[in-house]
Amino acid sequence: MTAIDGPVRELLDRISAPAARAVPDLDAIGAALAELAADVDYVTPWAERLRGRSGLLRIHAPDRGPRLAIVHRHAGHLSAVHDHGTWVALSPISGLETHRRYRLSGGYDTPLEIVEVTALASTEVVTLMPPGDIHDHGHLAGNGTPAYVLILTGDDQTRFERHEWDPATGRHRVLPPGELGRWLASDPWPA
């Protein structure tokens, strides 16, 4: 089966109209993603391909348009704080994923303020739309089992200028198109 067959095709069909709206209907997109996350027969083999390592596996990655991946981070590992430049929906298929949303108190170089912390269990969803898509996610030590998470974006995020922050130091940097950024908050800040 190719990635475009079966459940992924159904997901893309379900989100086609909601994603095409002038303001995408993130509730409908999130509901469709949660339904796919509940399809254990389909998603479990994808998760098994990541077992034993932290990483991202692309399930559907066209040049343009919605992209679907499965992500796993080890215990106690969180992503760097980042934005996407496109809408995004996240839904765990197993485990517990911590998702924190931030707000800027001013411009990009001003301190970040945490405005929402959510512990997502299987098939629960978080959706974000720029410019309110500043977030980090992953596993907080001592909070359940690290999750395997489906991430659906409206487009290839590396096509956009994006941003990354280090709240501990107050650093901010622009990620030019083509640059993915740091995988983990603990990864070294580029020189």
Mean predicted lDDT score pLDDT of the chain: 94
pLDDT, position 51: 78
Whether the per-residue pLDDT at 64 is higher than 60: the answer is: yes
Confidence at residue 105, expressed as pLDDT on a 0 to 100 scale: 84
Pair 152, 88: CB distance under 8 Å: yes
Whether 154 and 66 have beta carbons less than 8 Å apart is answered as yes
pLDDT value of position 3 = 44
Give the number of other Cβ atoms within 10 Å of residue 40's Cβ. Answer: 12
Please confirm whether the linkage preceding 18 is cis (ω < 30° from 0): no
Domain residue spans of the chain: 6-175
Neighbours of 36 (CB within 10 A): 21
pLDDT for the residue numbered 170:
84
Q: What is the pLDDT of residues 27-50, one digit of tens each?
A: 999 999 999 999 999 999 999 999
The distance of Cα 77 from the centroid of its chain, to the nearest Å, equals 14
pLDDT at 166: 92
Q: 76, exposed or middle or buried, with CB in 10 Å at 0-12, 13-18, 19+? A: middle
Query: What pLDDT does 52 receive?
Result: 75
Q: Does the pLDDT of residue 110 top 90, yes or no? A: no
Exposed (0-12), middle (13-18) or buried (19+): which is 57, by Cβ within 10 Å?
Answer: middle
pLDDT digits (tens, 9 = 90+) for 78-105: 999 999 999 999 999 999 999 999 998 8
- pTM for this predicted structure: 0.94
110: burial class by Cβ within 10 Å (0-12, 13-18, 19+)?
Answer: exposed
Structure confidence at residue 2 (pLDDT) = 42
Q: Considering the chain, what percentage of its residues have pLDDT values greater than 70? A: 98
3-class SS at 42?
helix
pLDDT band at residue 10, thresholds of 50, 70 and 90? very high
Best CA proximity match to 168, nearest among 186, 145, 148, 143: 186
In the DSSP assignment, the letter for residue 43 is H
Token readout for 69 is 């991946």
Residues 6+ apart with CB under 8 A from 40: 93
6-175 homologous superfamily: Jelly Rolls (2.60.120.10)
Q: Which pLDDT score is estimated for 8? A: 96
